[in-house]
Amino acid sequence: MNETNETSKEDKVMKIVVGLLVIATVAALFFYSQTRSLQQNPNKVNEEKIAALVNKVEKIIALPKGESPAMATVTDLAPLAGNPFFARAKIGDEVLLYTAAKKAFLYDPKANIILEVASLNIGNK
C-alpha cells in the first residue's frame, strides 16, 4: 500500500508539473504572438486607443470626419496654467486634436463629458 500511495503522489506531482508546463507554454506563445504583432505595427495600440476614445466622444458631440485625430492625456497641470482651454482640465483628461479641421476637444473620461472645444491656430495657414 505504501508503494501504491507513493506512486499516486508521484502521478499527482507529475500531472501538476505537466499542467504548469502546458500553461507556461500557452502563455509564452500568446505573449510571443502579441509581441510579433506589435513589432509589425507598433502604432496598433495607440490607434486602438484613439479609436476607442473617438467612439466614446462622438456619442456626445459631432467630431470632424475624414481625419484621425492626435490624442494627448493631461498628466501635469502646471504647464497648462493660464491657458483658457485647460481651465477645467484635470489629470487624466483626454485631448483630441484634429489638425485638418483645426479643432481641439477636451474630454473628461470619468464624467463622460466634453469640458472644452476650441479652434486650433496652426502655423501661418
pLDDT of amino acid 43? 60
- 69-93, pLDDT tens digit by residue? 999 999 999 999 889 999 999 999 9
Q: What is the β-pairing status of strands 70-73 and 113-119?
A: unpaired
C-beta of residue 93 within 8 angstroms of C-beta of residue 73: yes
CA 50, 55, 58, 63: dihedral to nearest 10 degrees?
A: 40
C-beta of residue 89 within 8 angstroms of C-beta of residue 74: yes
Distance CA 54, CA 96 (A): 8
- 90-101, pLDDT tens digit by residue? 999 999 999 999
User: Where in the chain are the domains?
Assistant: 1-40, 49-119
10-residue stretch averages of pLDDT, the chain, 125 residues long: 68 84 78 67 72 94 93 92 93 94 95 94 64
Distance CA 61, CA 73 (A): 19
For cell 472644452, name the residue: 116
pLDDT of amino acid 59? 95
pTM comes to: 0.64
